[in-house]
Structure 1
Amino acid sequence: MLLKPINQQVVAIMGASSGIGRLTAFMFAQKGAKVMVSARSEAGLKSLVSEIHLFGGEVDYVVADVSNIEQVKAFIEKTVARYGRLDTWVNAAATGVMGRFEDVTVEEFQRVIDVTLMGQVNGVTAALPYLKQQGGAIICVSSMEGRRSLPLQSAYSTAKHGLEGFLEAVRVELMHDKVPVSVTSILPSVINTPYYNKIRTKLGVKPTGIPPYYQPSVVAEAIIYAAEHPTRDFIAGDVGRVLDVLQRLSPGLIDIILATIGFVGQRTTEPKSEAAPDNLYEPIEGYDKIEGDFGKLTIPTFLDNLDKNPTLKWGFAAAVGAATIFGLLPKDQA
Structure 2
Amino acid sequence: MQLKPIDQQVVIIVGASSGIGRETALRFAQQGAKVVVSARSESGLQSLIEEIHQSGGEATAITADVSHFEQVQAIADKTIATYGRMDTWVHASAATVFSLFDQMTPKEFKRVIDVSLMGQVYGAMAALPHLKQEGRGALIHVSSMEGRRALPFQSAYSAAKHGMEGFLESLRVELAHEKWPISVTSIKPAVINTPFYDKGRTKLGVKPTGIPPYYQPGLVADAILYTAEHPTRDFIVGDVGRILDVAQRLSPGLVDSLLLLAGFPLQKTEQLKSEDAPNNLYEPVPEHDKVTGEFDHLVVPSLTDWFDRHPVAKNSLIAGSVIGVAALAWLATPLFQDTRV
TM-score calculated relative to the size of structure 2: 0.96
- The runs of at least 4 consecutive aligned structure 1 residues that moved more than 6 Å come to none
Corresponding residue for 2:70?
Answer: 70
Mapped partners of 2:109, 2:324: distance in 1:
49
Q: Which letter does structure 2 place at the counterpart of 1:123?
A: G
Identical counterparts, % of pairs: 62
Q: How many residues align?
A: 334
Corresponding residue for 2:53?
Answer: 53
Mapped partners of 2:329, 2:18: distance in 1:
50
Mapped partners of 2:333, 2:314: distance in 1:
31
Corresponding residue for 2:241?
Answer: 240
- 1:1-334 equivalences under 5 Å are 1-134=1-134, 135-327=136-328, 331-333=332-334
Where 1:332 maps in the other structure, the secondary structure is helix
Q: CA deviation at 1:318?
A: 2.3
- Could you report, residue by residue, the CA deviation over 1:232-276 in whole angstroms, capped at 9, with x for unpaired residues? 110011110010011111111000000000000000000001111
Mapped partners of 1:271, 1:29: distance in 2:
38
Q: CA deviation at 1:319?
A: 2.5
Mapped partners of 1:321, 1:124: distance in 2:
41
Q: Which letter does structure 2 place at the counterpart of 1:110?
A: K
Mapped partners of 1:266, 1:333: distance in 2:
54
Question: Highest CA radius of gyration, 1 or 2?
Answer: 2
Mapped partners of 2:45, 2:32: distance in 1:
19
Q: CA deviation at 1:24?
A: 0.3
- Could you report, residue by residue, the CA deviation over 1:153-185 in whole angstroms, capped at 9, with x for unpaired residues? 000000000000100100011111110110000
Mapped partners of 2:128, 2:334: distance in 1:
57
Q: CA deviation at 1:326?
A: 4.8
Q: CA deviation at 1:98?
A: 0.4
Moved more, 318-327 or 16-25: 318-327
Q: CA deviation at 1:76?
A: 0.6
Distance 1:328 1:153, change over 3 A: farther
Mapped partners of 1:324, 1:276: distance in 2:
57
Q: Which letter does structure 2 place at the counterpart of 1:263?
A: F
Where 1:16 maps in the other structure, the secondary structure is coil
Q: Which letter does structure 2 place at the counterpart of 1:192?
A: N
CA RMSD of aligned residues (A): 1.2
Mapped partners of 1:320, 1:160: distance in 2:
35
Distance 1:333 1:127, change over 3 A: farther
Mapped partners of 2:284, 2:232: distance in 1:
32
Q: CA deviation at 1:327?
A: 4.9
Mapped partners of 1:193, 1:333: distance in 2:
56
Q: CA deviation at 1:78?
A: 0.3
Mapped partners of 1:227, 1:61: distance in 2:
20
Mapped partners of 2:133, 2:264: distance in 1:
48
TM-score calculated relative to the size of structure 1: 0.98
Mapped partners of 1:142, 1:303: distance in 2:
19
